[in-house]
Amino acid sequence: MTNIIIDGKDFKNEQEFHKLIKIKMDFPDYYGENLDALWDCLTSEIEQPISITWVNFKDSLELLGDDAVNIASTFEDASSELPNFEFSKL
């Protein structure tokens, strides 16, 4: 299983998050850096099994607000749909 750690202290806005996740998850160059593109890549471009843990999520909530909630919801939706995809936030 591939384990990916996202640290909420490593980005300060949604644009920085998308740049970070693109690198960490080796998304293709055409990754659109938005929630729709994140969903598309999570559900079609990644190898499974995979576990994604978002540490310092509280820091992300403080900086990103609803954007952090929406990103986390995208990961949660993917984990509901894909049998070998796990997501947690700490």
What are the two backbone dihedrals, phi and then psi, of residue 55, each rounded to the nearest 5 degrees? -90, 155
What secondary structure does DSSP assign to 17-29, as a single string? HHHHHHHHTT--T
Query: At 56, which CATH number?
Result: 3.30.370.10
pTM as predicted: 0.95
The boundaries of the domain holding residue 47 are 2-89
What is the per-residue pLDDT across 28-81, written as a single tens digit (0 to 9) for each? 999 999 999 999 999 999 999 999 999 999 999 999 999 999 999 999 999 999
Number of domains observed in the structure of the chain: 1
Position 9 confidence tier, pLDDT thresholds 50, 70, 90: very high
Res 89: pLDDT:
97
What are the two backbone dihedrals, phi and then psi, of residue 16, each rounded to the nearest 5 degrees? -65, -35
